[in-house]
Structures are given as C-alpha cells and as structure tokens.
Amino acid sequence: MIAITGATGHLGQLTIHALLDLGTPAADIVALVRDPQKATDLSARGVQVRRADYTQPETLGPALQGVDKLLLISSNDVADRATPQRHVVEAAKAAGVKLLAYTSILGAATDKMRLAADHQTTEADIRASGVPFVFLRNGWYLENYNVAQAAQFGALPGSAGEGRVSAASRADYAAAAAAVLTLPDQDNTVYELGGDQAFTLGELAAEVQAASGRPVAYQNMGEAAYAELLRGFGVPAPLAEKLADADTHLEKGELYTDSGDLSKLIGRPTTPMKQWVNQTLKS
Ligand SMILES: NC(=O)c1ccc[n+]([C@@H]2O[C@H](COP(=O)([O-])OP(=O)(O)OC[C@H]3O[C@@H](n4cnc5c(N)ncnc54)[C@H](OP(=O)(O)O)[C@@H]3O)[C@@H](O)[C@H]2O)c1
C-alpha cells in the first residue's frame, strides 16, 4: 500500500491522481488527511481515507498500518514543520514502512535560505531513522507566481534581481512523486527537481505581458520592501519575511538546477513556463 500525507492539499491531490493515472489500484492508495470530511471525493473513487495529523502522534500509528511506501508532504505550517514531521518519521519507522519519500527543497544540502532549515532537519531525521528514503527536493512551484494579478496591475514584484529560477508546475512535481512511489530500486535516492528551462522574473513578466496583451514589468525591490509589500497583501509576517528571504537566495542561485532529474523521472519535458502562463491566464 502507498500512503500520501497532505492528501487534501494541492500537491497531495495531484499525486493521488497521478498514481491513479499510472494504474495504481485505488484500493492500494491511502489518503492521509487531517479532516476526512474534506476527502469524500477520494473515498468515492475507492481510495482509503485515514485520519493523520502530524501534531497528534497517536493518530499516526493506526494511519500507517499495512503501509509499504509513504509520501510525507511537507507541512504548510512554516512556524515549525520539523517537530510535527519528526512524529511522522518516528511513526513510519515504528510501522515498518519500507520507503519514505519526503518533499524537501531544491539544494537542501547547501541552501542558506530560511525556508530550507526545517527541510534540512527533517532530512537528517529521516537519515537517522534508518528507514529507506527518497528526497524529492522540489524547486519553486510556478504556481507561486500570481500571474493573473501581475497582468491586472502591470507589475510582478520580487526581490530576486536577475536570478534564475528553475520553477516547475505542481503537476510535474506530483508526477515525479508518483513515479518514485511506483518505480523499483528507489532506496536512499536524492532528486534535485526543477523545470527544464530556468528563467528570470523579468522573463516571466515578459511572458505575462505577451499572453495578456497588457504591459507588465518586473518590479525589483529590496528584501525588506518586498516583505512589507507581501504583508500588505495579507501574507502573515513570518511567511512574508521567509518568502522575501527566499527571493534574495534565488538571486544567489539557490533555486536553480540543471540536474534534469524532474524530466527524467516523469519521462517527458517539464511544462514550459510560457505554456503554463498561457494556460493560467486563460483559466
Ligand atoms: N516548492 C514550492 O514552491 C512550495 C510552495 C508552497 C508550499 N510548498 C511546500 O509544499 C507542501 C505541499 O504544497 P501544497 O501546494 O500541496 O500545499 P497545501 O495545498 O497547503 O497542502 C499542505 C497540506 O499539508 C497538510 N498539513 C499541514 N499541517 C498538517 C498536519 N499537522 N498534519 C497533517 N497534515 C498537515 C494540509 O492539510 P489540510 O488539507 O487539512 O489543510 C494540506 O493538505 C507545502 O505544505 C509546503 O511545505 C512548497
């Protein structure tokens, strides 16, 4: 059995659909969720739905019974992901899980950005547990960029300068996760995942302009000013600061890869940024 945490989140949903598309029987998939009421669509498709909360260790043992492979999707609680995720690692070990895949961050071994710290801790916990692992070191999502808003206001803000980002669509990262959960011989493998063609945020703004037919410019600003702008848009202060910090590190190359791991895992080129922008603005 293959279990997916965060199964009611964006990446979890896409991963389960990718597993089904690969021919995995629904009855062999376990959707681990905080709130089963949010997963009635998965139950209707025959996927097993079990309650699992990283912050409630008592839910994790029963949830992992009979699970061979587990995808731990990193928590979206940026205040502290490492402690709750440690509970999942401990439960996976106790349950005898044979493969633990974890959605980490691109370049986790060397990243200095603040968002990477929890991922580094969880990777170390997983290695120390002795459970065979796969680190899916995901680069930036294309979906992080609000291109509809950029087209509306004529500006794409950031503090990444001329840095190049190897962003890819969530669906491509989900396809990669489904691949490692179904391919043989994945034990103790590290994948550095990103889109085939990196781009600057100026190039992204130019594509938004071309697709929308409206003038759109990349608005580069200092890290503190960008964090303040994000707070003004309603992003909670700790997250706003970490996102602006991430842009600063993007400029230094921390969200760039030319590994080709993502396209190799999914067996096709990654979705080009231009195509994603066009699709997103049409929807
Ligand atoms: N690479 C990137 O650019 C990027 C961007 C954003 C996020 N991320 C990371 O990638 C993860 C997946 O992305 P996403 O787009 O799928 O995020 P998402 O839609 O916010 O999903 C996060 C999932 O984590 C679950 N979760 C959070 N805390 C939990 C807990 N204590 N116990 C059990 N489940 C818990 C949530 O459960 P509920 O459904 O119950 O809320 C949700 O299903 C994020 O959580 C974040 O760590 C990466």
Task: Select from 73, 114, 140 the residue to mutate for testing ligand 1; criterion: most ligand atoms less than 8 Å from CB.
Answer: 73
| Segment 144-160 mean pLDDT | 97
**Residue 82 Cα, ligand 1 centroid: separation in angstroms?**
13
Tell me the residue range of the domain where 83 lies: 2-139+169-193+258-270
Asked whether residue 247 is domain-assigned, the answer is no
| Segment 41-45 mean pLDDT | 96
Q: Whose CA is nearest to atom 29 of ligand 1?
A: 75
Instruction: Please say if the pLDDT value at position 116 is more than 90.
Output: yes
Total H helices, total E strands in the chain: 12, 9
Asked whether residue 277 is domain-assigned, the answer is no
According to the model, what pLDDT value does residue 283 have?
A: 85
Q: What are the pLDDT digits (tens) for 241-279?
A: 999 999 999 999 999 999 999 999 999 999 999 999 999
Asked whether residue 11 is domain-assigned, the answer is yes
Asked whether residue 200 is domain-assigned, the answer is no
Tally of structural domains, the chain: 1
Asked whether residue 88 is domain-assigned, the answer is yes
The beta-carbon contacts of 79-82 under 8 Å, at least 24 apart in sequence, are: 79/238, 80/118, 81/118, 81/119, 81/122, 82/117, 82/118, 82/121, 82/122, 82/125
- 244, containing H or E segment: helix 237-251
**Residue 209 Cα, ligand 1 centroid: separation in angstroms?**
30
Asked whether residue 239 is domain-assigned, the answer is no
The mean of the pLDDT values for the chain is 97
**Residue 106 Cα, ligand 1 centroid: separation in angstroms?**
16
Whole-model pTM: value is: 0.98
CA 5 to ligand 1: nearest atom? 34
Asked whether residue 114 is domain-assigned, the answer is yes
Beta bridge partners of 172: none
Please name which of 53, 42, 48 lies closest in space to residue 1, comparing C-alpha atoms. 48
List the CATH number of the domain containing 7.
3.40.50.720
Asked whether residue 204 is domain-assigned, the answer is no
